[in-house]
Structure 1
Amino acid sequence: MNTNELAWFKSSYSSNEGGACLEIATRPETVHIRDSKNHTGPTLTITPTTWTAFLRTVR
C-alpha cells in the first residue's frame, strides 16, 4: 500500500511548536506511524493489538 493514500492525523496532544510529533493512519488490519515533519521518510507499521497495548502503557 502506498502510504500517501492513507488518512494521516496528528495526536491531539501534539502542538504546532515544532516538537517531536507523530502522525498515525489506521486501517482495519494495520496502524501506520510516521514523523509528522518527514512525510516521505520511513513509517512503522504495527497491528491494532500492538497499538492498543502501546497506548495502555503511555497513558
Structure 2
Amino acid sequence: MHGLDTATWRKATASQDQGACVEVAMTERFVGVRDSKNADGPNLTFSAHAAAAFVRAAKQGRHDLV
C-alpha cells in the first residue's frame, strides 16, 4: 500500500478553521491530498514524482487560470 494511513496529515498554517482547505500527507514514495473538513472521507494519492512535477509547474505559473 502507500503508507498514508500512518503518515501525518498537515494543512497550511495560514488556513482558517472555517475555511475550505486541503491537507497533505507525504511518504517517501507517495503524497496524499484530502479535504480538511472530511478527514475520514476519500483522498487522492499521487506518486511523489508526480506531486513534485505539479508543484514545479504551479510555481512556474503553468496552472494559472488567467
- The TM-score with structure 2 as length reference comes to 0.70
Q: How many residues align?
A: 57
Larger radius of gyration: 2
Answer yes or no: is the 8 Å Cα contact 2:30–2:46 preserved in 1: yes
Runs of 4+ in structure 1 off by over 6 angstroms are: none
RMSD: 1.8
- The TM-score with structure 1 as length reference comes to 0.77
Q: Which has the higher helix share?
A: 1
Q: Which structure 2 residue ranges, 5 or more long, are not aligned?
A: 60-66
Q: Deviations over 1:3-44 (max 9, x none)?
A: 2x22111124x4215222111111111111111110000011
- SS of 2:51's partner is helix
Partners of 2:12 and 2:55 lie apart in 1 by 12
Q: How many percent identity over aligned positions?
A: 37
